[in-house]
Structure 1
């Protein structure tokens, strides 16, 4: 291969599953003309823009999996060198593709009480098998960010928690599970995106901490992973002036942070992946096409994700980088492709998933994370109240036909939603939080929040919270509730387990 062909192996531009034929052909042109090394699949331009437009991502198109399989086959057939196919699927293919298995969010897995590392490794393994069956070689996950800032707009549910040791162990377990399934994974977003106030899709977050503070928290899970042999790390678009000679520069384009700190000081010898180069924290810094790609490469990134200027980026890198640098990166990427079986590509069939086995795993996980987080449940008293029509169940953002409601009604032998809160001596409030993202109070309106808070002050109430636990802060003082159960997800299995807590 010549120099430009070697450099092209670093590029993994975005490929949108739901797109126009004109845009599909533009990808084919990149494959044929620039000989790119890989593609990173996204659902659609609409969903990829969700972060920029400050709204929740909505996946509502049909046939996404079939379309992606068709596109992978189409693009691989054209490519002289088989493409490394990646996806950003932190909670499975379902993060990008409807009607595929969804796994719990990291914040949910962080609540597992017993055997967390083993269960999370099993979840990562199953997630990896799903991806491998769908032609994916590399999952751009998991997050090793320590969620120390509760108002963080971009990490939140994506983090395993607030304790650096726990985050280190659980993110490594997820990484190792995926690796066992034969796909690549990477810890992200180095040097740690947990304690930031800005969404890097929209601007440059800055962490104003000393290096010593960063080593204790943000950097700890990455150092832990490096010592355990992690082979890939993604660098985020966030500034940590204490690590970059006082400069407020995105880590993803900082040579001090990637080459001097991550590679030299922390001893990372593996592959460095850039976060998406179209994100506004960096995309607007360099008006000249290709300059950003060169800056990212020069800083020490080996895989350049979501580059909007592939041709110009290749030319800039060819102009400025040494042959030794280019060869060293190329060899790493070639070995990665060998290791992940990229060169053994065979035309893909649309996979079928073992939904029964997936449900069994979900139940096993839910039994460990669904829990009473405050107060206690007196099942004998609840049974007596239900028999006397003194127990009411009020559902917010769900309906009386949810699995949780149906199971309670079956066990108590009556429809609890028909008992008015005025007549009830106790109220079970089930809340299905509309969004896992913090925008607009996690999608909850003021009227519903006021009603829940008011009920909790008027009557003894048990709150059953299905969704991101960070949304609890909008529900007033938790001591106003007699008990609080966290279901973390609205999965059927989580609802079943939550209902069982009332009936023990």
Structure 2
């Protein structure tokens, strides 16, 4: 791979609508992004979604990452066309590992059917307060590190067995955050020792089984004491020194969405793109301002060659593990959907299973994205 030609491979970008216009297709063919992330705005029907993904793959010279947030509960993009799986908290509180294993298997199966190859899960954050307004409500597998390790580990192994790559998020941990990074930059003041006894334990346990890690937009004062309000996703001390050196992770690292308030309010677009790769991330994620992706690629040209080379190598290495989609079949979709509904009933009970998550963005913009 020659880095000057392939910088598009370091972009993970959103897509405008439910189908590719000729103009969008031409832009993407020229840019050759490394991957695409889909949201509710891209999902209209089962057939439409599979066609959109097939079209994205067809215009890519290198097999792209096709990813989505399919966690369960309110962060389940596919519930727009199918059943809503139970969320991590419901599965955690039920306390039955067999249900979590089923959730991982069904998640893998439904994603493969549509042509996804990477799921932005499992969430490895710890819940200190299930009602906290920090974007994590309902999304956490544990109230302590060991509970997260046990539950998220079961989900992760089960989903990966179906041929879908996983992503542990949000490194090094949003659990202590007191605000929602979609809107503001959280500042977390835990010491190194406190982090190693809590937030970092799920990563130290599960990193060998994760295909990728998503770095988060919180400021950790212990790791960047001299940088002021500096997000972890842009921090060399956190991504390279902590994740890559101390925890020996040589897999794929990606930023959380660089269109979030925690980034937009603190740094310029050029800083966000360049410092993310300098920090040790391999993919920069631009979910919503997709008109900025060409500019993002230009900004990547300002990053030093060694950092670009390392990122491109890790992208290439991870892509060798991508599995091609299953053949699409509506009957198969209906069967998986029935199994997801049954899982929901078995987890929540018949009555509670009828009450679906309300997607209004009042909890967090993560619902509407």
**Structure 2 partner of 1:389:** none
- 1:285 is aligned to 266
Aligned residue among 208, 211, 215 for 1:231:
211
**Residues 354, 8 of structure 1: CA spacing in aligned structure 2 closer, same or farther, 3 A cutoff?**
closer
Q: 1:122-141, aligned counterparts within 5 Å?
A: 122-141=102-121
Taking the aligned partners of 1:27 and 1:212, their CA distance within structure 2 comes to 48
Residue 211 of structure 1: how far off its partner (Å): 1.8
In 1, distance between residues paired with 2:104 and 2:95?
18
1:34 to 12, 24, 31: 31
1:274 aligns with 255
Match of 1:314 in 2: 297
1:364 and 1:136 map into 2 onto residues whose CA distance is: 21
2:278 maps to 298
1:231, distance to aligned residue in structure 2 (A): 2.7
* Contact 2:119 2:164 (8 Å CA) reproduced: yes
Q: 1:67: Cα distance to partner?
A: 2.2
Deviates more, 1:7-16 or 1:67-76: 67-76
Compared with structure 1, are the counterparts of its residues 259 and 72 closer, same or farther at alpha carbon in structure 2 (3 Å cutoff)? same
Change (3 A) 1:338 1:330: same
Provide structure 2 residue ranges, at least 5 long, that are not aligned to the other structure: 365-369
Q: Does 1:44 align with 2:25?
A: no
Contact 2:86 2:348 in 1 (8 A): no
Partner of residue 178 from structure 2, selected from 197, 208, 211: 197
Shift of 1:345: 7.0
- Please give the secondary structure, in 2, of the residue aligned with 1:9: helix
CA–CA distance in 2 between the matches of 1:318 and 1:27?
Answer: 23
Structure 2 distance, partners of 1:37, 1:286, is 24
Aligned pair count reads 358
State the structure with more CA Rg: 1
Question: Relative to structure 1, is the Cα distance of residues 30 and 367 closer, same or farther in structure 2, using a 3 angstrom cutoff?
Answer: same
Counterpart of 1:452?
none
1:220–1:241 CA distance, 2 compared to 1 (3 A): same
1:57 is aligned to none
Is the 2:149–2:205 contact (alpha carbons within 8 Å) kept by the matching residues of 1? yes
Please list the CA deviations of residues 446-494 of structure 1 after superposition, one character each: whole Å capped at 9, or x if unmatched.
xxxxxxxxxxxxxxxxxxxxxxxxxxxxxxxxxxxxxxxxxxxxxxxxx
User: Counterpart in 2 of 1:98?
Assistant: 80
Matches within 5 A, 1:465-504: none
CA contact (8 A) 1:157 1:436 kept: no
If the length of structure 1 is used for normalisation, what is the TM-score? 0.64
Cα 1:248–1:188, aligned 2, differ >3 Å: closer, same or farther?
same
Corresponding position: 1:10 with 2:10: yes
- Which one scores higher on RCO, CA 8 angstroms, separation ≥ 6? 2
Q: Shift of residue 202 of structure 1?
A: 0.6
Q: Runs of 5+ in structure 1 lacking a partner?
A: 46-60, 371-402, 406-429, 443-504
Match of 1:298, SS state, is helix
In the alignment, does 2:337 pair up with 1:340? no
Q: Distance in 2 between matches of 1:436 and 1:108?
A: 17
The question of 1:72 aligning with 2:53 is answered yes
State whether residues 94 and 102 of structure 1, in contact with CA within 8 Å, keep that contact through their aligned partners in structure 2. yes
Give the direction of change, closer, same or farther, for the CA distance of 1:431–1:31 in structure 2 (3 Å limit): closer
Shift of 1:437: 8.1
CA-CA distance at 1:435 after TM superposition: 3.8
Give the secondary-structure state (helix, strand or coil) at the position aligned to 2:214: strand
Question: Aligned Cα RMSD in Å?
Answer: 3.1
**1:25 positional shift:** 4.4
Shift in Å at residue 355 of structure 1? Answer: 4.4
Moved over 3 A (4+): 16-19, 24-27, 284-287, 348-370, 430-440
CA distance 1:437–1:189, change in 2 (3 Å): farther
Cα pair distance change 1:367/1:88, threshold 3 Å: closer
Cα distance change on mapping 1:337 and 1:311 into 2, 3 Å: same
Task: Answer yes or no: is the 8 Å Cα contact 2:100–2:155 preserved in 1.
Answer: yes
Matching of residues 98-497 of structure 1 within 5 Å: 98-114=80-96, 116=97, 118-149=98-129, 150-226=131-207, 228-245=208-225, 247-287=228-268, 289-306=269-286, 308=289, 309-322=292-305, 324-341=306-323, 349=328, 351-353=330-332, 355=334, 359=338, 363=342, 366-367=345-346, 404=351, 435=358, 439=362
